[in-house]
């Protein structure tokens, strides 16, 4: 009986596996037959930009991956910018329509999009923007357009930036679950929520100065493109002068109030007058597939661009995790490739493991001995993110980059209070004085705390020495801008933590200049698993993802994000060089 049951189970399992393979085969065949030739770009076309997915600097799937753009949960900023640059010189593309709500991108990524759209306009082509709802970041992007339109019953959020930090001291005392923390740096506020009930003056000062600098950068760009003085923009924000469409128009933030069909009619009227043809809209995702086959830079000499994005953790790494495995492998390949003349390390990270950061820093030093290494900072290059950047020959940051945070800390969970309340007593036995490991069921001993504190101090001084050597300043000078303090790109340049304000493209151009090459192509690293491989991994872990999504649906996005943040803190191992707080810009 058991034999028959097992035999039938084997048959069903085999049929199921063949079924999956057959479906994937059909998908693969359809994708292989739908390459660049399948994307038809008609005359009199308008490129429609609708950013519906989260944006990462780089997806790493590669042009040769037939599943590229199918299974990725995010859009690559590099591909978006490339598509717009190709469209600039495509005679069939007459203009761009930004029709987007709730852009899922960082502030510096949004700023990069604005810059390439502004360059697109320089060709004489138009950029129009329409919204049913403009968040501040949505409007920041839209404000670069020649004309901005809002739905008659739409909403615009324009009130200035803010940040919220949650504090858990009372919660720890009530539950008996706490985080034991050890830190260096008076501004290292990543652990402050576990020590205090309210924000310290030092933390309030740095957050205020940071978001003020970011807001000033946004206002400067909006002011230039909308022709409104920055002080007037602040008055509009203070008085909520964009809270209704009519006020937004009266104050010059938008050009007209239209329904979407009227907006499309405006574009059609303008183009028909010139071409006497129908308007053809082409989606950004579709045009990007066409644009991927168009090289804007080419040559036998290459500039390697290595994307380091996400939290820094010990190990291999991946699309959203910086590990020494993939990053160092990419650095070594670029260093040893005779065709690569310079290296650009694109950093977008809030930090993480100090050990991993130092391992990557060392590989940057070795690469620098053979060819120029330039860093381009994205939305965030803080703590460990700055650590791996500090040794580069030259550092570029965006004005809205969040960087610095040169400081370290350690967190150790402890449930002694809860264990005592519910009647759990843990006893340890060891052979030597220090042979017993730390127990989360017992209060942290002075001896163990001293060990952790010593490690923190050594790591901090090492971090500081890397910064001092890389920036060619004294330890005292490095310490004066360290202590875990975070800065905007503008302030970081003023303080000497970065060399220039500029985009990734600016960093690539400078790397080529330092290498003495004029004609060159770009070679991107690392290569991640293909879309098919990631899909199959996700398929096998579907139950875990479903559980995660159910939790999010039940408790809501805000509570879910808090849960994930606490979970991240609980899972930290070793000394951390990490961003001191989570900053959400709305």
Q: What is the pLDDT of residues 309-327, one digit of tens each?
A: 999 999 999 999 999 999 9
Same domain, 153 and 83: yes
Kindly tell me the burial class for residue 109, based on how many C-beta atoms sit within 10 Å of its own C-beta (0-12, 13-18, 19 or more).
buried
Q: How confident is the model at residue 2 (pLDDT cuts 50, 70, 90)?
A: low
Same-domain pairing of 261 and 388: no
CATH of the domain at 276: 3.90.226.10
Are residues 273 and 306 both part of a single domain?
no
Distance (Å, rounded) from C-alpha 554 to C-alpha 576? 32
Residue 45 lies in a domain: yes
* Nearest-10 Cα torsion for 322, 325, 330, 331: 90
Cis-peptide into 526, omega within 30 deg: yes
Residue 386: give the domain boundaries: 302-410+447-535+571-578
Number of structural domains in the chain:
2
Q: Which of 291, 312, 333 is the last residue of a domain?
A: 291
Task: Say how far apart CA 323 and CA 372 lie, in whole Å.
Answer: 22
d(CA 581, CA 70): 34
Q: Report if residue 479 sits inside a domain.
A: yes
Q: Does residue 130 sit in the same domain as residue 279?
A: yes
Which pLDDT value is given to residue 102?
A: 84
**pLDDT tens digit sequence for 33-85:** 444 457 889 989 999 999 989 999 998 865 545 555 555 678 899 999 999 99
Residue 401 sits in the same domain as residue 265: no
583 occurs within a structural domain: no
Integer CA distances (angstroms), 139 to 128, 130, 236, 398, 399, in order: 12, 10, 14, 19, 18
Please indicate, yes or no, whether residues 281 and 306 belong to a single structural domain of this protein. Answer: no
Say how far apart CA 390 and CA 72 lie, in whole Å: 31
Q: For residues 368 and 476, state if they share a domain.
A: yes
Residue 59 resides in a domain: yes
585 lies in some domain: no
Give a yes or no: residue 327 inside a domain: yes
User: What 3-state DSSP class applies to 235?
Assistant: helix
In tens, the pLDDT along 151-197 reads: 999 999 999 999 888 899 999 989 999 888 888 756 567 688 888 99
Which has more confidence, 100 or 210?
Answer: 210
pLDDT at 408 over 60: yes
Q: Is 331 in the same domain as 250?
A: no
> Pick from 254, 270, 291: which residue ends a domain?
291
Q: Is 261 found in the same domain as 359?
A: no
Same structural domain, 248 and 391 = no
Instruction: Write the DSSP assignment of 446-513 as a string of letters.
Output: HHHHHHHHHHHHHHHHHHHHHHHHHHT--HHHHHHT-TT-EEEHHHHHHHTS-SEE--HHHHHHHHHH
Residue 409 and residue 396 in contact, taking contact as beta carbons nearer than 8 Å: no
Active site residues: 188, 383
> pTM of the entire structure?
0.86
Q: What is the DSSP string of 515-547?
A: HT-SS-EEEEE-----HHHHHHHHHHTHHHHHH
- Whether residue 256 is found in the same domain as residue 353: no
Residue ending a domain, among 271, 291, 311, is 291
Q: Looking at the structure, do residues 275 and 340 belong to the same domain, yes or no? A: no
**Domain-located, residue 480:** yes
At 344, the pLDDT band (50, 70, 90 cuts) reads very high
């Amino acid at each position: 009986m058991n034999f028959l049951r097992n035999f039938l189970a084997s048959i069903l399992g085999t049929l199921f596996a063949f079924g999956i393979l057959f479906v994937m085969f059909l998908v693969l065949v359809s994708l292989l037959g739908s390459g660049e030739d399948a994307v038809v770009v008609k005359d009199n076309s308008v490129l429609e930009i609708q950013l519906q997915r989260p944006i990462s600097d780089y997806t790493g799937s590669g042009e040769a991956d037939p599943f590229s753009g199918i299974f990725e949960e995010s859009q690559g900023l590099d591909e978006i910018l490339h598509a717009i640059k190709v469209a600039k010189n495509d005679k069939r593309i007459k203009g761009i329509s930004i029709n987007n709500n709730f852009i899922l991108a960082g502030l510096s990524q949004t700023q990069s999009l604005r810059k390439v759209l502004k360059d697109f306009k320089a060709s004489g082509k138009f950029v129009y923007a329409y919204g049913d709802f403009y968040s501040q970041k949505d409007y920041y992007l839209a404000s670069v357009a020649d004309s901005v339109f809002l739905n008659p019953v739409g909403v615009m959020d324009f009130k200035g930036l803010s940040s919220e930090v949650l504090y858990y001291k009372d919660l720890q005392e009530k539950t008996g679950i706490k985080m034991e923390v050890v830190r260096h740096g008076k501004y290292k506020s990543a652990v402050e929520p576990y020590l205090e009930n309210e924000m310290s003056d030092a933390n309030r000062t740095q957050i205020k100065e940071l978001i003020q600098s970011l807001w000033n950068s946004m206002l400067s760009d909006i002011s230039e493109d909308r022709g409104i003085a920055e002080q007037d923009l602040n008055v509009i924000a203070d008085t909520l002068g964009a809270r209704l469409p009519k006020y937004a128009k009266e104050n010059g933030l938008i050009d007209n109030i239209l329904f979407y069909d009227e907006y499309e009619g405006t574009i059609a009227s303008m183009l028909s007058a010139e071409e006497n043809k129908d308007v053809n809209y082409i989606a950004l995702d579709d045009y990007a597939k066409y644009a991927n086959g168009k090289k804007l830079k080419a040559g036998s000499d290459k500039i390697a661009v290595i994307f380091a994005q996400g939290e820094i953790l010990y190990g291999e790494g991946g699309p959203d995790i910086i590990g020494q495995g993939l990053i160092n492998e990419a650095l070594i390949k670029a260093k040893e490739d005779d065709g690569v003349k310079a290296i650009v390390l694109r950093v977008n990270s809030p930090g993480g493991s100090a050990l991993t950061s130092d391992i990557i820093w060392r590989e940057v030093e070795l690469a620098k001995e053979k060819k120029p290494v330039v860093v381009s900072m994205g939305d965030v290059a803080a703590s460990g993110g700055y650590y791996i950047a500090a040794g580069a020959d030259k550092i570029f940051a965006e004005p809205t980059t969040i960087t610095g945070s040169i400081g370290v800390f350690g967190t150790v969970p402890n449930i002694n209070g809860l264990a005592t309340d519910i009647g759990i007593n843990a006893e340890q036995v060891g052979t030597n004085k220090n042979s017993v490991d730390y127990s989360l069921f017992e209060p942290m001993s002075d001896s163990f705390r001293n060990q952790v504190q010593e490690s923190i101090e050594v790591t901090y001084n090492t971090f500081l020495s890397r910064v001092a050597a890389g920036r060619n300043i004294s330890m005292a000078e490095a310490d004066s801008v360290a202590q875990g303090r975070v800065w905007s790109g503008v302030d970081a340049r003023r303080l000497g933590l970065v060399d220039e304000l500029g985009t990734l493209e600016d960093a690539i151009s400078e790397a080529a200049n330092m290498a003495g090459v004029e004609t060159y192509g770009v070679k991107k690293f690392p290569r991640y698993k293909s879309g098919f491989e990631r899909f199959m991994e996700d398929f096998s872990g579907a139950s875990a993802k479903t559980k995660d999504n159910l939790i999010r649906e039940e408790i809501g996005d805000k509570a879910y994000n808090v849960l994930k943040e606490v979970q991240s803190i609980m899972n930290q191992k070793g000394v951390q060089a990490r961003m001191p707080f989570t900053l959400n810009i709305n």
